[in-house]
Amino acid sequence: MESSSIGQECVFGVTLKRVKWYALAGMVVFVVILEVTRHLLYPYMLSLPGRLLTDGMLVVVALFFFGASFQIIDTMQQQLERQNRELIALREAGLDIAAELAIDTVLQKVVDQARNLLASRYGALAVYDEGGAIETFATSGISPEVRHQIGSPPRGRGLLAVVLEEGQHLRLQDLGRDPRIVGCPANPPPMRSLRAVPIVCKGPFRGNLYLADKVDGAAFDEADEETLGRFAIQAAIAIDNAYLHDKVAELAAAEERLSLAHEMHDGLAQLLAYVNTKAQAVQEYLRSGRTTEASTQLNQLAAAAREVYGDVREGILGLRASAAPSSSFTATIGSYVRQWTAQTGIDTELELPEDLRVPPRLELQLLRIVQEGLANIRKHARAKWAHIRLTSENGRVRLEIADDGLGFNPEAMGRSEFPRFGLTTMRERAESLGGTLKLETAPGQGTRVVADIPFVRS
């Protein structure tokens, strides 16, 4: 877009210079004509007919001069209006495709917006793999019925096997006469003219953007090609952005899988060690005939089994909640809290801003902190209600999880009979994002956990 603006400034600068030179040349020519006429018709010019003739010549020359000037100015105005319409259309098209983050949706919007931008009947976008074969082929302007008749996508032979390099254009006035037409799909709609430009991305995506036949029947001109070339640059940026977004999501998911594996390894290892210790104790008590002590140990094993069962249910619920990429963060966390409330019977209030948008990695960690916090409430708080509040301000997000449960004295908290890992895990997740986790609690006054995490608004 910057190069487009510079080009417009150069064009109008040259045109204005021409107008100035035309005006100066017109004045010189006018003076010369006037002097020649005066010398040739000097005696006659003193009479009334001579003066009328001179005035008429002045009027004709003035009309010619002003007509030529206005014609140039009108041409400049038309060029300015056209380029202004192009810039507005390019901006709207660029904003539309940049608003999407799913690769398939971006590719389809690119070909749709390109077709609308140049008022073309048909459009197509071919994405090639490293071997030059067509990997994705998106179309626009073709009805589902016609698309079905076309059959399988092209295999990238002939004309469609031409992968354009950066700066290259493909211009065909009559498709039927080009020998490279082989390799196109069967039963295509009738097309005559074709224009194509490359889409060169920084990422692995590389393809050609095709437009065929203008709606009004006119031929594609150089201005259309320049517009299409500028739009291809915007399209490449949008595709790169969507690709990077997918990579960030993949990295976040991979990191989360490693984190879950670590937590499950540590948690299950200690739980199994706890169960093994209790089982050995039961065996010894039964061998020595101490049934009362054995019964106590069995009750503790049953409590451990209930805790594990509750953890597994919450874990499954959490995995289901985080496995819905099509849902927004607020919808995902809202659904999780509603299902958790139904499972536990603890009344839970959720307070979220409607316009909250955070990076995928932060979304996942916030969801996990909420899950850990609610799990702690279920296990230890004996609470009747819980409150979750999420706010964002000045580049930071603040998550508060509170309950009306028993509370405790953090300084006096020692080893419990049953292992607890929630607070440590929540703190590790917050600190991994450069944030902090603060605990506010006291016996009989409930518990409040506050996570304060920086983020960049996306």
Contact 100, 242 (CB under 8 A): yes
CB 429 within 8 A of CB 394: no
Could you tell me which CATH class the domain 103-244 is placed in? alpha beta
Residues 6+ apart with CB under 8 A from 447: 376, 377, 381, 402, 403, 405, 407, 408, 439, 440, 441
Contact between residue 387 and residue 444 where contact means Cβ atoms under 8 Å apart: no
Which residue, 82, 114, 88, 87, is CA-closest to 6? 87
Q: Picking from 82-86, 118-122, 229-233, 351-355, which range would have the lowest pLDDT averaged per residue?
A: 82-86
User: Tell me: the pLDDT tens digits for 199-227?
Assistant: 888 878 888 888 888 888 888 888 888 88
3-state secondary structure at position 158: helix
Q: For residues 408 and 411, what is the distance between their CA atoms, to the nearest angstrom?
A: 9
Q: What letter does residue 327 receive in the DSSP assignment?
A: S
The structure's pTM equals: 0.49
Mean pLDDT computed over 89-112:
76
Whole-number pLDDT of residue 3: 42
**Measured between alpha carbons, how far is 310 from 61 in angstroms, rounded to an integer?**
97
CB 191 within 8 A of CB 227: no
Q: pLDDT, tens digit, for every residue of 341-392?
A: 988 899 999 998 877 777 766 887 888 899 889 988 988 888 999 999 999 8
Domain range 317-454, CATH class? alpha beta
| Residue carrying structure tokens 């517009």 | 227
Looking at the chain, the whole-number percentage of residues with pLDDT higher than 70 is 65
What rounded mean pLDDT belongs to the chain?
75
Backbone angles phi, psi at 393, to 5 degrees: -165, 140
Which whole number is the average pLDDT over 294-303?
A: 83
User: What stretch of H or E contains 231?
Assistant: helix 222-287
The token duo for 368 is 């996990």
Closest by CA to 65, choosing from 20, 24, 26, is: 26
Res. 175: pLDDT tops 60: yes
Domain definitions of the chain by residue range: 2-98, 103-244, 317-454
